[in-house]
Amino acid sequence: MAADAHSPLAQFEIKTIAELTPFGIDASFTNASLIMVVVVGLITLFIVAGMNKATIVPGRFQGMVEFFYEFIANLLQENTGPKGKQFFPLVFSLFMFILGANLIGLFGAFTFTSHIIVTFALAMLVITVVTFVGFARHGLHFTSYFVPQGAPMWLMPLMIPLEIISYLIRPISLSVRLFANMVAGHVMLTVIGGFVVGLGGLFFALGAIPLAAIPLIFALEVLVALLQAYVFAILTCIYLNDAIHLAH
């Protein structure tokens, strides 16, 4: 069911651009798909433009690209050590993709990170890679990760299922955190924007009050967009560290 056009949730409605149903499976190209392609294109253009004519003294774009590169490289080094370097492409791609998605949504484009299915898919990618790395590096010994170190044997029947559940909840917490923050922020901006129009129609001075708050909330949303991309990236690094350096 389509959302009411005046509802703050209308901005999150998925709209089909090109209907595709191969083998009866709905794989239609939607507004979310379009913005994903745009975000990937903009990130690629940003990196290529920044590094196409790299110089010893970096220009504006080169400096920005190098900043993000070093930021993620340091994040991996601090949280996973030298063995985590091979996962730089994964963490860097996730960080830039989520950051681009969060920021483009603040400028009127569809915010696909406001949909739980998208954030859950990204979180499942992370957990799948982490689990694969854990078993690839440690074999069946990776299952010892679910055995709390130092816990008495009589508590194991309770602790092991709890550890497994905690591990399986990771993609849910990772995806819900990003999804909820994006929805809440955009709804807040839309509601306050509605106050500006509604109150301004009654009396200009009343409309000026919420209007003055919009730049502050927008700045806060930019900070949240950066912070959520950072949180997703650092948790990915922490989960990878658990798989690389098995403590048990």
Q: Is residue 35 a contact partner of residue 118, using CB atoms and an 8 Å limit?
A: no
Q: Which two three-digit tokens encode residue 217?
A: 């909330």
Q: What is the dihedral of CA 111, 129, 131, 116, to 10 degrees?
A: 10
Report the pLDDT value the prediction gives residue 57, as an integer from 0 to 100.
66
The set of long-range contacts for 112-118, using a CB threshold of 8 Å and a minimum separation of 24, is 112/32, 112/35, 112/36, 113/178, 113/179, 113/182, 113/228, 114/12, 114/179, 114/182, 114/183, 114/186, 115/12, 115/14, 115/32, 115/179, 116/175, 116/176, 116/179, 118/32, 118/179
Question: What's the Cα-to-Cα distance from 81 to each of 75, 141, 244, 245, rounded to whole Å?
Answer: 9, 21, 9, 9
Report the pLDDT value the prediction gives residue 10, as an integer from 0 to 100.
66
pLDDT per residue as tens, the chain (248 positions): 455 556 666 677 888 888 888 877 878 888 889 999 999 999 999 888 877 776 766 777 788 888 999 999 999 999 998 888 999 999 999 999 999 999 998 887 888 998 899 999 999 999 999 999 999 998 888 888 888 777 778 778 888 888 889 999 999 999 999 988 888 877 877 777 666 555 555 555 555 666 666 778 788 888 999 999 999 999 999 999 989 987 65
Report the pLDDT value the prediction gives residue 146, as an integer from 0 to 100.
84
Sign of torsion over alpha carbons 74, 80, 85, 86: negative
* Cα gap 165→149, rounded to integer Å: 17
Report the pLDDT value the prediction gives residue 200, as an integer from 0 to 100.
53
Q: What is the dihedral of CA 22, 26, 32, 33, to 10 degrees?
A: -10
Q: What is the CA 190 to chain-centroid distance, rounded? A: 21
* Cα gap 62→66, rounded to integer Å: 6
* Cα gap 41→24, rounded to integer Å: 30
Report the pLDDT value the prediction gives residue 157, as an integer from 0 to 100.
83
Length of the chain, in residues: 248
Report the pLDDT value the prediction gives residue 110, as an integer from 0 to 100.
85
Provide the whole-model pTM.
Answer: 0.86
Q: Which two three-digit tokens encode residue 129?
A: 């890679």
* Alpha helices, H only, the chain: 31-51, 60-80, 88-104, 116-138, 156-202, 204-244
